[in-house]
Amino acid sequence: MGSSKNDRIRIGFVGAGFMGQLVHLSNFTEMNGCEVVALAERRPRLARLVADRYGVHRVCDSHEELCADPSIDAIVQITSDDAHATVSIDALNAGKHVYLEKPMATNLADARRMVEAAERNDRQLMIGYMKRFDTGVELARSIIVELTSSGELGKITHARGHCFAGDWVCNAGTPITTDETYPKIEPRPPEWLEQARIREIYSMNNLYCHNINLMRYLLGEVHELKFATLDSPTKLMVFAMDGFDAVLELGRLSANFWDEGVKVYFEDGWVEVLTPPPLLRNVPAGVSVYRAGDMQEHTQPQAPRDWAFRRANAHFLACIRSGDPVRSSGADSIRDQELLEEAFRRF
């Protein structure tokens, strides 16, 4: 499944934009046991400037050049959403493990082709759902699993997911920019979707795929999309879970904070997890547990400080070494794409 345990994992990096610079390049270039050996970026001046900043010695014009290099073990691609499927499939077919930012793809057919390529070539395909690696989210999930198993608070009766966004950058830094034209990338929306709705599905897929995915990680698989309303500023989705319904409230807010979380209601209490701004480093999600009945206890267990993005990147490397399946695999992430497209088809 890749390099031996004593070898460095050699990474070819695709994309030198905002997230590539301020998150993933800075993480991978600082981690022990791996080396970013080349950067592919279609804007040559930007490529050279970014490579120099992060100590990457080689620059390439295209991801195909990285795919053709037999010394490269994995491709990390932080590119435009429309490029996700094409770059991933090329890399997987070249025998490279792949890490990419969410959303997995811009249409379900592409997502399925990506998973087929990963399985056919026996390579890891990891989608960057970093909220699954937030130590607070991990803590909340373990508490939900324990309470569900023990029955201490009764059964789960409802869940509410909420994202109105806000300030997600939190002065994370200033990326290098140039006046070079952004390369044109062919749009790849669902073939069946009418032209007037393409912008809407792209916007929802880019931001709110996180919330669909987080709900599934905390609560288990969605059995059915019961309802959705997409024609107002606030979007609603209702999922049938295992014996209860879960509602997602998805909107926008101009705020200097980040407004997102999941609250899970039991018969005798609740568990709530409030996720931090994505680029706020080393601040985990806040967790609170309310126990009703005779106890009437409200606690706030604390998770260790760490950064979800860094932990997700490290997990990818660890799974390449061990051969264990990644936590946010392409095969799992297909379900997020399915649910979003079903909402647009039916509602």
Strands 235-240, 286-291: pairing kind: unpaired
**Architecture of the domain whose range is 132-306+337-346:** 2-Layer Sandwich (3.30)
Q: What is the reported pLDDT for 1?
A: 45
Q: What is the reported pLDDT for 5?
A: 44
Q: What tokens were used for 105?
A: 């793809």
How far apart are the C-alpha atoms of 148 and 290, rounded to whole Å? 14
From first CA to last CA, the distance across the chain in angstroms is: 42
User: What residue ranges do the domains of the chain occupy?
Assistant: 9-130+311-330, 132-306+337-346
pLDDT tens per residue across span 81-130: 999 999 999 999 999 999 999 999 999 999 999 999 999 999 999 999 99
Angstrom distances, CA of residue 286 to CA of 157, 194, 219, 282, 293: 22, 40, 18, 12, 24
How far apart are the C-alpha atoms of 156 and 96, rounded to whole Å? 41
Q: Report residues of the chain scoring pLDDT below 50.
A: 1-5
In this structure, which topology does domain 9-130+311-330 adopt according to CATH? Rossmann fold (3.40.50)
DSSP H or E stretch at residue 335: helix 330-346
